[in-house]
Amino acid sequence: MEQDFDDIAQNSPQEDLRDGLSQAFRSDQTPPFGNMIGQMFGQADSHQRSGMLNQLLGAVGPSVLTSVLGGSALGGLLNRGGGQQVQLTQDQIDQLSPEQVEQLATEAERENPGIVDRMSSFYAQNPTLMKALGGAALAIALGHMSQRRR
Q: Is residue 136's pLDDT more than 70? A: no
Q: What is the spatial distance between Cα 86 and Cα 43, in angstroms, rounded to a whole number?
A: 23
Looking at this protein, which amino acid is placed at residue 98?
P
- Confidence at residue 16, expressed as pLDDT on a 0 to 100 scale: 83
Residue 125, pLDDT score: 84
**Cα distance between residue 135 and residue 129, in whole Å:** 13
Query: Exposure string (b/e) for 60-94, b if CB count within 10 Å is 16 or more?
Result: bbbebbbbbbeeeebeeebeeeeeeebebeeebbe
pLDDT tens-place string over residues 110-132: 989 999 999 999 888 877 777 66
99, with CB counted inside 10 A (0-12, 13-18, 19+), is middle
pTM reported for the whole predicted model: 0.79
Per-residue burial over 115-139, b if 16 or more Cβ lie within 10 Å, else e, is bbebbbbbbbebbebbbebeeebbb
> What pLDDT is attached to residue 82?
47
Going by pLDDT thresholds of 50, 70 and 90, the confidence category of residue 137 is confident
How many domains, the chain? Answer: 1
pLDDT at position 113 is 92
Q: What is the pLDDT of residue 74?
A: 55
Q: Quick check: 61 and 107 in contact, CB under 8 A?
A: no
- If you average pLDDT over every residue of the chain, what do you get? 79
Q: Quick one: pLDDT at residue 102? A: 94
Domain region containing 39: 2-149
Is 33:26 a contact under the CB 8 Å cutoff?
Answer: yes
**What is the tens place of the pLDDT at every residue in 53-110?**
888 888 887 677 777 776 554 554 454 444 455 667 888 888 889 999 999 999 999 9
- The whole-number pLDDT of residue 79 equals 45
Report pLDDT for 2.
Answer: 61
pLDDT band at 34 (very low <50, low <70, confident <90, very high): very high
